[in-house]
Amino acid sequence: MMTQMQMLHIFWDMWGNHDLSFYRVYVECGAITKEQYKEITGVDYDTPTVVPTA
């Protein structure tokens, strides 16, 4: 069985899913760490800013 990291590496490397918001969800729900996000995407994870709407 593959780990979450292995599956995400496949999505990035082989399937070409380079939508950073897809991988952000995994960090936000605690499935991967910010360091793992960077390992997969090559980009530092910046905590998203939530702007309240009125």
The pLDDT tens digits of the residues spanning 14-44 come to 989 899 999 999 999 999 999 999 999 999 9
Q: What is the DSSP string of the chain?
A: ---HHHHHHHHHHTS----HHHHHHHHHTTSS-HHHHHHHHSS---PPPPPP--
Global pTM reads 0.79
Is residue 26 within 8 A of residue 35, CB to CB? The reply is: no
| pLDDT score, position 54 | 66
